[in-house]
Amino acid sequence: MRVNSNEVLDSSMSQQIIGLLNPLLAVTFSLTFFAFWLVQKDKRYILAFAGAYLAFGAGIFVSNVAIGAESSWHVFGTHLFYSISALLLFRGVSERAGHQSGTLLALVILAGITPVLIWIHSVSGLANLRIIVANASYAAIVLLAAGNLWHNRNSHRLDYWLFILFILMAIQFVVRPAAVLAVEGELLNSEYRGSVYYSVLNLVLSFITLMMAITLFAVCGLDYVRAQAGKVSKRPSGSDPVSHDEKIRQLREVMETGLFREHDLTLNQLCQKTGIHEYQLRALINQEMGYRNFREFLNSYRLREVQAHLSRPEFETVPITTIALDAGFNSIPSFNRVFKAEFGVSPSEYRAENQQPGAARQVSG
């Protein structure tokens, strides 16, 4: 597709304006997240959100204003900042969920794609393939983050909405360039900023930036309210200490019935089984029992059962995978990771050691 000089000039001016407004919007969001972190300094994932939006703003500025689209530095700079933004966003939501599976894969994808994008740019004057490859890599990172969100979803609808938003973001990364470029045809690097794709790119980025920021602001606010409610519920007054101990006893009794073996057990379901309000249950798990999150609390029971079975002769012929799945784990890689983090050896090594005479290691907590 070819565009005349007047269209290029008008489009260039509009993109320059958008190219300044979008980074300013992203920086504003970044500063807002930083303000959230100042009142919740134990929540490091909020800093990751702040960094993600700051890097995102830098990427938009490079893409729109700073460097010409014909330059390889345009490709490198844009991809560098967008990659940092994607990794920090992945890190933030995964850390909040307490499940960071795929971190190494995310790094490998983004690092591996960088030279590929520069090579494509150097051998072809067309932007089509480079755009599709870059967007596919970003979609992969977003899907990895969505997987961590789903794996550790809880009862609040905000967590489900955040998961849906990540899925929609991944879809648009793939569909948008394919659909728009199919309409425009071949797109030269020199015509990149004057293209329909580029206009749609900025509009979609603006919308996604806004929706994601609003959702993450709500998530940070929700976490703050929950933390404050937990502190209030922890304060003793009159008969509160007795009630407090009773709730811990009740929680342990319910878990010892084997409820932890349910693969998709959620915090809301545990609340219903124990009759304890969610904010109180969170306070018990995090502040009283010392677990970082619900998933770690749940895994402690599962690990204890796996540990016992691996140490008993009657389970010697049962596959470790079967033992792990029966204990409630629904991901073998995740099970292997948390098991080794707890015991310092792999499940098979633990079984080999503890089938011999001697004391078994004990799960802490």
Task: State pLDDT tens for residues 99-109.
Answer: 777 778 888 88
| Residue where a domain stops, chosen among 229, 248, 264 | 229
Identify which of 251, 340, 359 has the alpha carbon closest to the alpha carbon of residue 301: 251
Instruction: Identify whether residues 139 and 163 lie together within a single domain.
Output: yes
Q: Encoding tokens for residue 69?
A: 């689209």
Place 2 in a pLDDT band, splitting at 50, 70 and 90. very low
Instruction: Identify whether residues 64 and 145 lie together within a single domain.
Output: yes
Neighbouring residues of 150: CB distance < 8 A, sequence distance ≥ 6: 163
Place 1 in a pLDDT band, splitting at 50, 70 and 90. very low
| Residue where a domain stops, chosen among 229, 250, 283 | 229
Instruction: Identify whether residues 180 and 325 lie together within a single domain.
Output: no
The span from the CA of 306 to the CA of 332, in Å, is 13
User: Which residue shows structure tokens 């489009």?
Assistant: 11
Q: Quick check: is 148 in a domain?
A: yes
Number of helices followed by number of strands (H, E) in the chain: 14, 0
Mean pLDDT of the chain: 78
Q: Encoding tokens for residue 172?
A: 């648009």
Count the Cβ atoms, other than its own, within 10 Å of residue 64: 24
Instruction: Identify whether residues 219 and 80 lie together within a single domain.
Output: yes
- pLDDT, residue 194, reads 63
The answer to whether 103 and 91 are in contact (CB under 8 A) is: yes
Place 239 in a pLDDT band, splitting at 50, 70 and 90. very low
Instruction: Identify whether residues 59 and 187 lie together within a single domain.
Output: yes
Q: Quick check: is 76 in a domain?
A: yes
Instruction: Identify whether residues 174 and 245 lie together within a single domain.
Output: no
What residues make up the domain containing 11? 5-229
The enclosing H or E element of 239 equals none
User: 25-82 pLDDT, tens per residue?
Assistant: 888 889 999 998 888 877 888 999 999 999 988 887 877 766 666 677 777 878 888 8
Torsion-angle region of 238 (φ positive above 0: left; ψ -120 to 50: alpha; else: beta) = left
Place 306 in a pLDDT band, splitting at 50, 70 and 90. very high
Q: Quick check: is 70 in a domain?
A: yes
Altogether, the residues listed in the chain come to a count of 365
Q: Quick check: is 362 in a domain?
A: no
Instruction: Identify whether residues 207 and 246 lie together within a single domain.
Output: no
**Prediction pTM value:** 0.62
Instruction: Identify whether residues 210 and 292 lie together within a single domain.
Output: no
| Residue where a domain stops, chosen among 229, 248, 282 | 229
Count the Cβ atoms, other than its own, within 10 Å of residue 42: 7
Q: Work out how many domains the chain is built from and give that number.
A: 2
pLDDT, average across residues 346-364: 68
Identify which of 157, 137, 39, 37 has the alpha carbon closest to the alpha carbon of residue 92: 37
Instruction: Identify whether residues 215 and 289 lie together within a single domain.
Output: no
Q: Quick check: is 176 in a domain?
A: yes
- pLDDT, residue 196, reads 63
- pLDDT, residue 321, reads 92
CATH code of the domain in which 308 resides: 1.10.10.60
Instruction: Identify whether residues 206 and 290 lie together within a single domain.
Output: no
Instruction: Identify whether residues 17 and 115 lie together within a single domain.
Output: yes
The answer to whether 150 and 163 are in contact (CB under 8 A) is: yes
Instruction: Identify whether residues 118 and 200 lie together within a single domain.
Output: yes
Q: Quick check: is 30 in a domain?
A: yes
- H-type helices in 128-156, by residue range? 128-151
Q: Quick check: is 365 in a domain?
A: no
Q: Quick check: is 198 in a domain?
A: yes
